[in-house]
Structure 1
């Protein structure tokens, strides 16, 4: 990439920031304008993510990561943004979820409270920044941006349950941010840098007497990420918070736990991989056993859940546990399969959150109440009159559409053949069994829990589907608008495409995993990136 195209690296951060700031100039009477601004922005982010994905993997040929030097300051002194195959994949996944969740919210949910669109774009900015940054301190900054936006989105729509869950969420994440800063401070005190590429070069040279301080700082930092990822016993906040959030917000939050997984994967392979000397692989056992415990806890939660939103929240924990345990085995053959599972499970659970709301919608739903009694009444004067009839046209045979989507999600989340969830779990199990030598008991335990968690999900989803969809009741007839059906259809179609094109997708992800394991490639690209004054912006 050269010329103007090189600036696309910063666009996923800059574009939502500028548009969200511009939205603050308009009050809630201009909701239609805000909708179009948000929709155009998420569409542009999706296009940019596709371009960056192609740029990092030109026709399957090995390519160095794209590096953007903010202010033209060289690394490690300035802020560096880095895009490789993995970060480009995560950007694309975030853009897809952002586009579909925002589309769904336009049916009704964005009217349940003020500043929805500005907060939503700030959340996208923070998530994109976390995937792009090449500096741990700026990772903290982007984490705080996405958390600040998520605080407002969790509370969007008001209600006692939502306020209670939101306050718990805020308190836990404020404490986690403090741990983040402590871990960063300890790492900086030992190495004298926070640039990821520079850290990868300095950690092998850390003296033995400072090694414990370095590992302590990394462990504290890891706890902060594991809270956000939802590892047991740090995950008690997640099911309740996701259950209380508005459906499009919960669908977007499906990526937030994966931000923690991404950071753990990035730092363990880059800073504590095979080339880290005495600090190599120091946290693998903790990830493995923590992942096993998380799968077990999530499985029990799925079986005991009395509502679909709680079931979905506990499934997020199952997916987190599978990813952590698979990465904790330390087997390079499992990384690509785990990344394929990350993509498949995130798309599936996001679609499931969008399906849940129409299935459980009653005659007097909370959105109608929130719109009828707005908290900031002065900003809503005239806004509701303008958009009173914008919910959309109801789809005939809604029961068949929602029932079919529910069955499709059940098959995906359970990992039953032939869908992408099965392909991902089969690839993980195959990679675990391909390790050198005898298979250790912990690996057999992981394989057993993967299978049992899928069985538990089948049982729970079947029971819930019979109770809520196919059992005759006196509840109001299910309704679904076209605006709500389209994003659900997009997500399920992408899951189907993952099955049909599993070979091509897995080949890309395998190349991303190989690049991830090559710390020297990332380090040289970031530290040796030419400045604009030297005739180029990025390699």
Structure 2
């Protein structure tokens, strides 16, 4: 065996720990550096985030192993078996979420390196702590540690939201902190009640315990699950508990807003993970508990997000309502509890998150270009700064108007063209128009809803009013989003404005291109991605493999000890 093979064999079992340990160590190292060492911190942040993406891709590749349908691997950090010790698990869903998180994180840290990271202190350590909390929430297999990673994630988000100071950020930050503290309290109450009823907080052990709950305790079990669900739904921005999102996300700096687009998906992930584990077909009398509430709340959230987009004038608010619309679509689809529909919603989750994150980054560039035309802060207008474009409008030999501007053949500045094309791409994805992945995800969900036998339902299954309402809202919300974004595009790009051509740093254009290229890759490889998301959905709705892998994971045995030598040097 080569040295590389030996090293991989030794390291691969511990790779599941890397998405948590890597940002933790990076953040700790950056806290030891003085705030003036910004260039070093930027380099460390980008390098660590890029390594995190590489690790996530490696885990995703391993998660496609057909011999491990339920769970790729189980890691016992304390070397105690479940349900007594801490357990980390990696399966298709968590690996997919890690890749999505790392992709958005890499784009946002590159964008922040252009200017925003200098707007306040400790941006880079907070960014890494945020990634640690997100990764831990996706990997943990017990509710207590899910709460711990939620709090790490939220504590870092408080500092990131206030990054850059200013009264709007402070005001929105106070509301954001208050609602999340309330959600954390509900989380603790729900977890405590579940532990009192079942005697465990391990997710797999909970899944085994639900069916055997005494009838007298089942009402209390449902109350505990409902309280816990409210905490997750607040984070998922369900209506009417989403009043905080648009002011907070639009007040945050552009890279923070783009990273926060992942935060609502953590709430959706938690609902999907726990609901399919605890209240699937194996849950006895508790099977499908809360499904109607999920569907109803999701449908109302979709309507609220679409109307909010239509009624907003500011791009930041439109992006915030787009995040709400995406979250509502996912929650409504989760509530049906059908595997084909879940496969479609997972594909939609990927495309909508990438598009909303890109829209948040675009909002900063477009608003800066529209409002002041200066394009860059004074301290960033240096002679050696690499720009995406300059004013490329030759007029010699052309027909000119009264302002001595070209009547025909006028060259569009490269940066303006880039912003416009990127905005069009975001519009098509969020609205769900072909050929981009927003359309593929919505089409997959509509196809699943209109073909109920394909969902594995019985021949007597009826789509019902809720199903038809979801189909109608998928189409109507896309139309409203298209109108809202088209109107904003006309105002910002088509209407005449006396302003100079935009000047964009490469570090500002590259992250947006990265996110939109990932969306293009989703459309190009739609078949392969849909097969992956469908296999993920099938494993979620048949959680026996996940439960078995967690509950049968054995601790690593201690190395054998040599017997002590007897006096005189001989063995006894």
TM-score bracket for the superposition, by shorter chain length: over 0.9
Counterpart of 1:401? 418
Aligned residue among 531, 548, 553 for 1:507:
531
Aligned residue among 515, 520, 534 for 1:491:
515
Matches for 1:28-107 after TM superposition, within 5 Å: 28-58=35-65, 62=69, 64-107=71-114
Q: Distance in 2 between matches of 1:150 and 1:395?
A: 34
Note if 1:444 corresponds to 2:453: no
Structure 1 window deviating more from structure 2 (430-439 vs 141-150): it is: 430-439
Aligned residue among 497, 501, 512 for 1:477:
501
Aligned residue among 221, 244, 264 for 2:251:
244
Q: 1:169, 1:241 within 8 Å by CA — same for their partners in 2?
A: yes
Aligned residue among 367, 372, 381 for 1:363:
372
- Measured after TM superposition, the shift of residue 61 of structure 1 is 6.9
Note if 1:528 corresponds to 2:552: yes
Q: Distance in 1 between matches of 2:20 and 2:376?
A: 31
Note if 1:258 corresponds to 2:268: no
Q: Distance in 2 between matches of 1:258 and 1:224?
A: 13
Counterpart of 1:377? none
Helix, strand or coil at the partner of 1:58: coil
Larger Rg: 2
Counterpart of 1:417? 434
Q: Distance in 2 between matches of 1:285 and 1:46?
A: 37
In structure 2, the CA distance between the partners of 1:404 and 1:184, relative to structure 1 (3 Å rule), is same
Aligned residue among 25, 34, 54 for 1:27:
34
In structure 2, the CA distance between the partners of 1:523 and 1:61, relative to structure 1 (3 Å rule), is closer
Q: 2:373, 2:502 within 8 Å by CA — same for their partners in 1?
A: no
Q: 1:394, 1:481 within 8 Å by CA — same for their partners in 2?
A: yes
- Unaligned 5+ segments in structure 1 are 373-383
Counterpart of 1:297? 304
1:295-351 superposed Cα distances (whole Å, 9 cap, x missing partner): 111111011001011001111111111111111122222000000000010011111
Aligned residue among 309, 326, 335 for 1:328:
335
Q: Distance in 1 between matches of 2:186 and 2:240?
A: 16
Q: Distance in 1 between matches of 2:199 and 2:70?
A: 30
- Measured after TM superposition, the shift of residue 232 of structure 1 is 0.2
In structure 2, the CA distance between the partners of 1:61 and 1:69, relative to structure 1 (3 Å rule), is closer
Q: Distance in 2 between matches of 1:288 and 1:126?
A: 28
Note if 1:430 corresponds to 2:447: yes
Note if 1:189 corresponds to 2:196: yes
Q: Distance in 1 between matches of 2:500 and 2:281?
A: 59
Q: 1:331, 1:432 within 8 Å by CA — same for their partners in 2?
A: no
Q: Distance in 1 between matches of 2:162 and 2:138?
A: 25
Counterpart of 2:115? 108
Counterpart of 1:139? 146
Aligned residue among 445, 450, 453 for 2:477:
453
Q: Distance in 2 between matches of 1:64 and 1:296?
A: 36
Q: Distance in 1 between matches of 2:462 and 2:135?
A: 41
1:392-416 superposed Cα distances (whole Å, 9 cap, x missing partner): 4242421111011111111111001
- Measured after TM superposition, the shift of residue 74 of structure 1 is 1.0
Helix, strand or coil at the partner of 2:37: helix
Note if 1:225 corresponds to 2:232: yes
Counterpart of 1:519? 543
Aligned pairs, how many? 520
Note if 1:201 corresponds to 2:205: no
Q: 1:56, 1:63 within 8 Å by CA — same for their partners in 2?
A: no
Q: 1:60, 1:508 within 8 Å by CA — same for their partners in 2?
A: no
Aligned residue among 315, 320, 335 for 1:313:
320
Q: 1:157, 1:367 within 8 Å by CA — same for their partners in 2?
A: no
- Measured after TM superposition, the shift of residue 187 of structure 1 is 0.4
Provide the TM-score with structure 2 as the length reference.
0.88
Q: 1:333, 1:434 within 8 Å by CA — same for their partners in 2?
A: no
Higher helix share: 1
In structure 2, the CA distance between the partners of 1:402 and 1:364, relative to structure 1 (3 Å rule), is closer
Note if 1:154 corresponds to 2:178: no
1:488-516 superposed Cα distances (whole Å, 9 cap, x missing partner): 11111111111110000100111111111
Q: Distance in 2 between matches of 1:141 and 1:320?
A: 23
- Measured after TM superposition, the shift of residue 438 of structure 1 is 3.1
Q: Distance in 1 between matches of 2:75 and 2:68?
A: 21
Helix, strand or coil at the partner of 1:491: helix
Helix, strand or coil at the partner of 1:82: strand
Aligned residue among 319, 336, 355 for 1:348:
355
Aligned residue among 340, 344, 360 for 1:337:
344
- Measured after TM superposition, the shift of residue 364 of structure 1 is 8.1
In structure 2, the CA distance between the partners of 1:391 and 1:122, relative to structure 1 (3 Å rule), is farther
- Measured after TM superposition, the shift of residue 134 of structure 1 is 0.3
Q: Distance in 2 between matches of 1:510 and 1:389?
A: 51
- Measured after TM superposition, the shift of residue 59 of structure 1 is 6.6
Larger RCO (alpha carbons 8 Å, 6+ apart): 1
Q: Distance in 2 between matches of 1:120 and 1:227?
A: 22
- Measured after TM superposition, the shift of residue 388 of structure 1 is 6.8
Q: Distance in 2 between matches of 1:338 and 1:365?
A: 41
